[in-house]
Structure 1
Amino acid sequence: MARFKLDKKGVAVVCLWALVPGAAAAPFIFWQSIGAGLVFAALWLGMCLGWLPARCESFEGSVTLGEVRMSSGLLFKTSRRIPTRWVSASARFSTPLLRRCRCCVLVLSTSGTLAVLPGISDADADSLLSYLQGG
């Protein structure tokens, strides 16, 4: 059995990605009113710097002979179970910032769903992919 978690540096990059849409939307919300802009900025920063890192840190997964299990959650823990025979494709990509942190984004594709693992370390991704490919 192989276990994997999201890397701390990868989680920091994911939080930076989440800040970008808020920074793009903020001028339009501040244009409506200063109060709405301040509320939006406080909520968005709270989500990106408080809730999202805690949610990503709660993620844990394992792969066994027959299935990939993933679970995450702060208040309500959710679990996902994907039989390995249903994994039809995998994609692995990284940005320059993720490469510097030795992390990547791993996407596992099945006939009915996509499992996106942002910020997983390269070593965990290598072991997960080799396990899924039968090695």
Structure 2
Amino acid sequence: MTEQELLRTALILPPRARAVLCVWAAIPGLLCAPFVFWQSLIAGLCFCGLWCLLVLALRLRACSFVAALSPRSLTVQAGIAFPVMRQIPRRAVTGVQLLRTPLLWLAGASVLIVRCPGGLLVLPGVPSVQADALASILTEDAV
């Protein structure tokens, strides 16, 4: 994928990447649930219901995730009720890291970590082809 193709497309999270994010969010709840159920059945059921709502909220937020590369900046927008937009100038990027866990590798996605002065931007679940191209373009600008 070239820079021109990235400038024309928006990065969205594919369904498999959203599923991986939901699994990551569900694991701490699954680990904590037995201890809450040990206290009482009602507390355990309430905890599981609240954790499911949290995972659902994460899924909805992941569905609204959009990243776009422009000639001067990288813009990321996420959120449904309260949309949040972050914009990082391309010349301010000081480092880029790609993270691929085995589960993300199976989903064909990567976590892209973009560093800049005073900030850190984590782009979870970006398709691997687009993440590789974006990482090479941003590191090219950083040098």
Question: TM range, normalised to the smaller chain?
Answer: over 0.9
- Partner of 2:138 in structure 1? 132
Where in structure 2 are the equivalents of 1:103-118 lying within 5 Å? Answer: 103-118=109-124
Count of residues in Structure 1 that have an aligned counterpart in Structure 2 = 134
TM-score normalised according to structure 1 size: 0.92
- Partner of 1:122 in structure 2? 128
Q: Deviations over 1:75-115 (max 9, x none)?
A: 11110010111110111011111111111111001111111
Q: Which runs of 4+ in 1 moved over 4 A?
A: none
The answer (yes or no) to whether the contact 2:112–2:135 under 8 Å persists in 1 is: no
- Partner of 2:90 in structure 1? 84
In 2, distance between residues paired with 1:102 and 1:39? 35
- Partner of 1:73 in structure 2? 79
The answer (yes or no) to whether the contact 2:98–2:135 under 8 Å persists in 1 is: no
Match of 1:3 among 10, 15, 19: 10
Match of 2:19 among 12, 18, 25: 12
- Partner of 2:59 in structure 1? 53
The answer (yes or no) to whether the contact 2:97–2:135 under 8 Å persists in 1 is: no
- Give, in angstroms, the shift of residue 134 of structure 1: 4.0
Q: Deviations over 1:6-35 (max 9, x none)?
A: 221111001001111001111111112111
Q: Deviations over 1:47-81 (max 9, x none)?
A: 21x21111001010111111100101011111001
Aligned to 1:81, the other structure's residue is in SS state strand
TM-score normalised according to structure 2 size: 0.87
Q: Which moved more, 1:73-82 or 1:118-127?
A: 118-127
In 1, distance between residues paired with 2:95 and 2:63? 26
Match of 2:106 among 100, 113, 117: 100
In 1, distance between residues paired with 2:114 and 2:59? 22
- Give, in angstroms, the shift of residue 118 of structure 1: 1.1
- Partner of 1:35 in structure 2? 42
Q: Give the gaps of 5 or more residues in structure 1.
A: none
Q: Which has the higher helix share?
A: 2
Q: CA RMSD of the aligned region, Å?
A: 1.4
Q: Give the gaps of 5 or more residues in structure 2.
A: 1-6
Q: Percent identity?
A: 37
